[in-house]
Amino acid sequence: MKQSIQERGTLLLALIAGLSINGSCAALFSSIVPFSVFPIIALVLAVYCLHQRYQNQTMPVGLPGLAAACFILGVLLYSAVVRAEYPAIGSNFLPSVLSVALVFWIGFKVKARNATLSD
């Protein structure tokens, strides 16, 4: 049970890192999105926590791929939200569709992983 909670924490930190890296880039380099220091702070904290987890624990088989998928999901979700808020940037159709497909893929992989671990 404790291992499952730690793995979910790693996936959540990867999602937050994806959200905050896209937020930091948008805040620093986009003239449409207003500047905020909070995505930069969130990025530093998420990456630090992920680094500490990587140093102190071994990652089980299959978790790095799921963490990378959660990171990409965070990037896509932030892009879809910003594009919905500021339509001048462009359409949010592609990031939204890719996000939904990635959510289903992550859910499928997590269920398959839990089924193999419980056997």
Q: What is the pLDDT of residue 29?
A: 92
The pTM score is 0.91
Indicate the domain borders of the chain: 2-118
Angle formed at CA 9 by CA 43 and CA 16, multiple of 5 degrees: 25
Angle formed at CA 37 by CA 89 and CA 32, multiple of 5 degrees: 20
- Rounded mean pLDDT for each run of 10 residues along the chain, 119 residues in total: 79 96 92 91 96 89 92 96 90 95 96 83
Q: What is the pLDDT of residue 3?
A: 66
Helices (H), the chain: 2-29, 38-56, 63-85, 93-118
